[in-house]
Amino acid sequence: MNHRTLLAVTAGATVVADQVTKAVVLWTLDDGDSVRAIDGVMHWTLQRNPGAAFGLFRRVPVLFTILAFTISIVIVAAAPRVRDRLNAVALGLVLGGAVGNLTDRLFRPPGPFRGHVIDFIDFRVWPTFNLADAAVVVGAGLLALASFRADREPAAS
């Protein structure tokens, strides 16, 4: 599988997993409901988030819609230049996470560009989040690792 395809498959799988888990949560929980998932560790808690990842900056949802759209366009434009699997997976996770939450912002109430993102993963010591948020964080971490590895490799002559 070439790197561009790997990036696209990773992004697509991330969006599907994110949207399916959100649909299941919306189907099974009412707003504010919380169910213990792993005793003493994690709950499923339905929250509608107008802000950024982890519930930050709730008063400017349009800004995050524009930011997610911009990040998505930049990654798609950069895809032909991806030269290794680690960067392809990392960028695919960031793209998939951005598109997953962008989908919520465009199609969920209260309306386009202001839609609330569905959050449900609740460790009780961290703000509630979703798979898209987790994908963006993991993807960013992998990009940092890829950058660190590239800096350590000897320069080609």
| Side-chain-facing half-sphere of 66: CA atoms under 13 Å | 4
In the chain, the number of structural domains is: 1
Distance from C-alpha of 107 to C-alpha of 112, rounded to nearest angstrom:
6
| pLDDT at residue 4 in the model | 96
With cut-offs at 50, 70 and 90, classify the pLDDT of residue 109: very high
121 is a domain residue: yes
In angstroms, the CA 130 to CA 60 distance is: 19
Predicted confidence at residue 94, as pLDDT, reads 97
Over residues 64-92, mean pLDDT: 93
- Enclosing domain of residue 8: 3-152
Residue 59 contacts by C-beta under 8 Å, 6 or more apart in sequence?
Answer: 50, 51
The single residue of 18, 104, 122, 133 carrying the catalytic annotation is 133
Averaged confidence pLDDT in the chain: 90
Is 133 one of the catalytic residues? yes
- Does 131 reside within a domain? yes
Q: Please say if 119 is a catalytic residue.
A: yes
pLDDT tens by residue, 124-151: 998 999 999 999 999 999 999 998 887 7
Q: Which of 18, 104, 119, 122 is an active site residue?
A: 119
Average pLDDT score over residue span 56-63: 63
* pLDDT value of residue 55: 54
Enumerate residues 6+ apart whose C-beta is below 8 A from 63: 57
What share of the chain in percent tops pLDDT 70? 91
Kindly report the pTM of this predicted structure: 0.89
116 in any annotated domain? yes
Is 47 part of any domain?
A: yes
Domain-located, residue 157: no
The pLDDT of residue 157 is 47
- What's CA 21's distance to the chain center, in Å? 13
Domain annotation covers residue 84: yes
